[in-house]
Amino acid sequence: MDAVHDSGAESFREFVASRSSALLKTAVLLSGGDRHAGEDLLQNALIKVAGKWSRVEDPEAYVRQVLYRQQIGRWRLKWPRREVSYGEVPDSAGTEGGASSAELRVVVREALGRLTARQRTVLVLRYFEDLPEADVARLLGCSVGTVRSTTHRSLARLRALVPELGPGIPGPPPSRDYAPVEVRP
């Protein structure tokens, strides 16, 4: 029994070592750009998964599902919004383009932080995680129509908060939830 437990613990450690960076990016985005809140979100998700590790078939998908569910729980509780502060200005790579992209990341991160948690979660799932609308609806426990309208309103709000991105932020991509339909005359 100890050998099975030890191999499961080792497997969990290897998973965390190899995937925590990518999972943290998602958690930070879900947390509105707040790295500390993202770290807390990921740590809590990993704690929940660790106890069930031996029964988990697809670890990456399962951990992401726990992250999403925890974030949904956070915005359903209507936690007060915390202000995001930066200790120092991001360092540019010495190029003009590097500075503008760093500034743009800060502006977008701040704008994401000003969206509601629900709006932010929908945008992260649709565009960062590249999930189809039906999957987002299933994860959030709502209809596809709700996902579409929330996506539309969220992008409009993001464009209003960051006007310099106006034309740069595309509208919602065509839905991948439906097969193309051939129309015959």
Which residue did the predictor score with more confidence, 168 or 129? 129
pLDDT band at 149 (very low <50, low <70, confident <90, very high): very high
Which residue did the predictor score with more confidence, 60 or 97? 60
> What are 32-77's pLDDT values in tens digits?
888 888 898 899 899 989 888 888 888 888 898 888 888 877 766 5
- pLDDT, averaged across the chain: 76
Q: Is the pLDDT of residue 91 over 60?
A: no
Q: Is the pLDDT of residue 178 over 70?
A: no
The secondary structure of the chain as a DSSP string is -HHHHHHHHHHHHHHHHHHHHHHHHHHHHHTTT-HHHHHHHHHHHHHHHHTTGGG-SSHHHHHHHHHHHHHHHHHHTTPPP-----SSPPPP-SSHHHHHHHHHHHHHHHHHHHS-HHHHHHHIIIIIS---HHHHHHHHTS-HHHHHHHHHHHHHHHHHH-GGGGGGS--PPPPSSS-------
